[in-house]
Amino acid sequence: MIILGIETSCDETSVAVLENEKVLSNIVFSQITIHKKFGGVVPEVAARHHLLNLPIIYEKALEEAGISGKQINAIAVTYGPGLIGALLVGLSFAKGLALRYGIPLIGVNHIIGHVYANYIAYPDLKPPFIVLMVSGGHTEILKVEENKIEVLGKTVDDAAGEAFDKVARILGLGYPGGPEIEKISKVGDPNKFNFPRPMLNSKDYNFSFSGLKTSVLYTAQELKNNIPIADIAASFQEAVIDVLLKKTFKAARNNGINKIVLAGGVVANSRLRQKAKSLGKKYNYEILIPPLEFCTDNAAMIAMAGYYKILNGEISSLELEAVPNLKINS
Ligand code: KG4
Ligand code: ZN
């Protein structure tokens, strides 16, 4: 079966072609350079660029996969959560193709897509496993079992990547903030500032990063013209990683699961990867980190989630609407 995946929920325009579980192509066009000058993603601009680029990316994905449109058997598309204008571009394009070729449309939840990215990277992966999903828009701990995904915890305010981006702005670093903070942290002291670890010891698996960000802001304001940027960045990064990993490992332990998967753009952070691996080794957990190509937003993961849905007989109607705040189990 040939499945076409379409992802346009934020600032990546992506189209992928899968033959069953095999990725034949996965084209991703990132709009980062366009949004950089605004210091963040501008929704209206994102939607316009999806509109401009999607037909081109679609042709490229078919070409690289060596197929023609007529060979597509089903279309999987992200219908939420995400930016409404951006989602509508992908969804409308997908509906057009479904009508043109008379093939089924499968709406996919973007977060569930991130979970299915693991099946691309690790075809032998079997549930149960715990997922730490950390990106610019999401921070969640998921428990994945056969045919069931449960949200164990999530951020009550900022997403982890969002906190990186906001702190980078406070420190006068560029956008996106995560890579900038990581880079400068390499020459900073992670123990110089003892920033708060919000909700570290709370009984739930939720996160909060807004207080941590404010604490960085106050520290920077107090130090005025003499800000040790590298030390602040390194100490902030350490605080975020501490909370993310402590809670994830706690979730794994309390649920009797020994497999932990990291997913989402923040997983590009080498300190996070390295700490996760060393903690895994120490406490005997298997740590799986998909290649970055499948951690950040991409259409292959959407097509993979769609493939599993279609095997389950789950097909969407052409009336499917974009849902910006779509929840996991809705
Ligand atoms: O998954 P992603 O590419 O897009 C979505 O938000 O869905 O994640 C982007 C986020 C941004 O907030 C960015 O600052 C963060 O991931 N990020 C990082 C790193 N690279 C990207 N955060 C920390 N360290 C990094 N190296
Ligand atoms: Zn994402």
> Which is higher by pLDDT, 247 or 225?
247
Nearest to 284 by CA among 256, 244, 243, 247: 256
CB of 298 closer than 6 angstroms to any ligand 1 atom: no
Kindly give the distance from the C-alpha atom of residue 10 to the centroid of ligand 1, in angstroms, as a whole number: 12
CATH number for the domain running over 2-115+295-311: 3.30.420.40
pLDDT in tens, 270-314: 999 999 999 999 999 999 999 989 999 999 999 999 999 999 999
Residue 80, CA distances (Å) to 13, 107, 274, 301 in order: 14, 9, 31, 14
Residue 21 backbone dihedrals phi, psi, to 5 degrees: -90, 5
In a 13 Å sphere around the CA of 133, the CA atoms on its Cβ side amount to 31
pLDDT, average across residues 186-208: 95
The neighbour count for residue 36, using CB atoms within 10 Å, is 12
Question: How much of the chain, in percent, has pLDDT values that exceed 90?
Answer: 88
Q: Report the pLDDT value the prediction gives residue 330, as an integer from 0 to 100.
A: 63
Per-position DSSP letters for 22-50, written without gaps between them: EEEEEEEEE-HHHHHTTTS--HHHHHHHH
Domain with CATH 3.30.420.40 in the chain: 2-115+295-311, 129-256
Cis peptide before 127 (omega within 30 of 0): no
Mutate to test the pocket of ligand 1, among 135, 167, 274, 293 (most ligand atoms within 8 A of CB): 135
pLDDT digits (tens, 9 = 90+) for 232-247: 999 999 999 999 999 9
d(CA 59, CA 322): 24
Residue 251 in contact with residue 141, Cβ under 8 Å?
yes
Q: If you write DSSP's letter for every residue of 256-285 in order, what string do you get?
A: T--EEEEESGGGG-HHHHHHHHHHHHHHT-
Q: At what angle do helices 270-283 and 177-185 cross, to 10 degrees?
A: 70
Give CA–CA dist 3/190, Å, rounded: 45
Which residues pair with residue 105 across a beta bridge? 75, 316
d(CA 198, CA 306): 36
Q: How many angstroms separate the alpha carbon of residue 8 from the centre of ligand 2?
A: 10
DSSP class per residue in 173-189 = --SSHHHHHHHHHTTS-
CA of 12 to the centre of ligand 2 (A): 9
pLDDT digits (tens, 9 = 90+) for 124-135: 999 999 999 999
State how far the Cα of 100 lies from the Cα of 302, in Å rounded to an integer.
21
Q: Which helix (H) or strand (E) holds 16?
A: strand 12-19
Dist CA 14 CA 264 (whole Å): 15
Q: Which residue's CA is the closest to the ligand 1 atom numbered 1?
A: 265
Mean pLDDT, residues 27-37? 89
Is the minimum distance from the CB of 290 to ligand 1 under 6 angstroms? no
- pLDDT of amino acid 35: 87
What does the pLDDT read at residue 224? 80
How far is the centre of ligand 1, averaged over its atoms, from the C-alpha of 71 (Å)?
Answer: 35
Q: Is the CB of 269 under 6 A from ligand 1?
A: yes
CATH class of the structural domain 129-256: alpha beta
Q: Ligand 1 pocket, 78 CB below 6 A?
A: no
161 Cα nearest atom in ligand 1? 12
Atom of ligand 1 nearest to the CA of 176: 14
